Amino acid sequence: MTPPDAARLLFPTAGQVSAADRAMRYHTDPRTIWLTGLSASGKTTLAIALERHLFESGRAIARLDGDNLRTGLSAGLGFSAEDRTENVRRAACAARLFNEAGLMCVVALISPRREMRAMAADIIGAERFALVHVSTPLSVCAARDPKGLYKKAMRGELDRFTGVSAPYDEPAAPLTRVDASRHTVAEGVAQVVEALSARFSATTTTG
């Protein structure tokens, strides 16, 4: 966050190319599709497939993933509540920049608390923000455990691990819910695209 004493020295400028200009040029209507869910729920897998589908449909699109962010933009952040909130803030700011540049953006981030996701929606803009809950049950995520994190958390080796020693607030009214234990990746992509088409212009998601 910008320190108060520094904020008075900043003078943001507006360019002569608007987000609407870019959307017209790229034939897209920029949105951020924010995938939230537990670790190992299938967020990243779904995000990668969704990105590919939208790209092949002619969309200009970018993808932000939690682990990737932590090796770059969010390097140095830990897993305290404050650091997790800051990680979400940075991801939302990056997604907004992509949207303003005329690109759609898919974000895959645990973002466990409601207030974090509300902050992301506020930064990006509610009119652009589409929340998807990857709702794979905790028991399935823990059984998958591809990184061995649940085992470590259950042995007490990891503090503040979402779903085990830290809470996850399920979204009350997401755009849609995708349970990766019940649906294939292709089915999940189709479900998200259908939900996007119902909420936004059909030209955003079909091509």
Q: What residues are annotated to the active site?
A: 111
The CA-atom distances, in angstroms, between 94 and each of 39, 65, 124, 150 are 22, 11, 9, 29
Q: Which residue has the tokens 């910008």?
A: 2
Angle (nearest 5°) at CA 56 between 51 and 61: 40
State the Cα–Cα distance between residues 107 and 87, nearest whole angstrom.
Answer: 12
Instruction: Provide φ and ψ at 106, rounded to 5°.
Output: -110, 125
